[in-house]
Amino acid sequence: MDCLFCKIANGEIPSNKVYEDEKILAFRDIAPQADVHVLVIPKEHVASSANDINAENCEIVGYIFAKIPEIASLAGVDSYRVINNCGDKAGQTVKHIHFHILSGDNLSEKLV
């Protein structure tokens, strides 16, 4: 599989890491959409998008959400937005499930 995020998780492509453990990796986005923009991915390619979450792989999503407050704190923020783009029309560009942690003064109030 030629997956950008799998290559980052495997250390084949460098990243600006914020957090890493045996299950997940959090790193700064190379094209940030906010003052703070961190991506959180499972190291294992368990799903391409939220559409693929099921009973067999949902545990990692729960694990990611349990770690997000710690990751946000490590990124220097205590107020943030978590976003998952699911599918091409929603702006998903990498087909490896991931979550965006966004924070900063330039977040639009209209974006939910």
Residues designated catalytic: 98
Helix (H, G, I), strand (E, B) or coil at 28: strand
- Cβ–Cβ < 8 Å for 16, 27: yes
Can you tell me the distance from the alpha carbon of 72 to that of 7, in angstroms, rounded to the nearest whole number?
23
Beta-bridge partners for 83: 100
